[in-house]
Amino acid sequence: MKKFYIIMLSIAMTACSTKSCHYSTANLTDVKVCNQVGDDDLCADDNPSMSAADTKVVYITAVLKNAPANTKVKVTWYYLEEKDEEIFSDDYAIKDGEKHLQFYLHAPDDIWPLGHYKAILDLGTDNSEPIEKEFEIVE
């Protein structure tokens, strides 16, 4: 029985080392949305409902922990009133360590269309789930 466990462990380690799986200790915490960031470049409070008149930029902030070199974060923004219309998507490479992350999107034509939006933050690893952050722009 002990031999069986050793063989299975060897197979699992070989599979991960040949890039058939991508395991990382990187994780995102303290994900917030707001229309103004503090001196630390993070949203002080989570503000999922923002006034169109007071919002020129929407920020999504997070803390990235335990990130190995070249960790990538993909952020995709959607306008939900138009059948999940993708507004913008980009990949960001993070050098390493713990970082304060800030992603932002400017209002199109200087005013946000009213409605519901979401941003998806994805580390793209086998052991992490994408994080969805929804917000709305109101009158």
Question: Residue 14: its pLDDT value, please?
Answer: 44
Mean pLDDT of 82-86: 89
The CATH class given to the 22-138 domain equals mainly beta
Neighbouring CB atoms inside 10 A of 28's CB total 18
Q: Do residues 71 and 26 make contact, with C-beta atoms less than 8 angstroms apart?
A: yes
Beta bridge partners of 108: none
Confidence of residue 98 (pLDDT cuts 50, 70, 90): low
Q: Is the pLDDT of residue 59 over 50?
A: yes
The residue extents of the domains of the chain are: 22-138
Question: CA 69 to CA 46: how far, in whole Å?
Answer: 29
Using DSSP, state whether 26 is helix, strand or coil.
Answer: coil
C-alpha distances out from residue 68 to 33, 98, 132, Å: 25, 9, 23
Average pLDDT over residues 78-94: 93
What confidence tens digit (pLDDT) does each residue in 14-38 have? Answer: 444 444 454 567 899 999 999 999 9
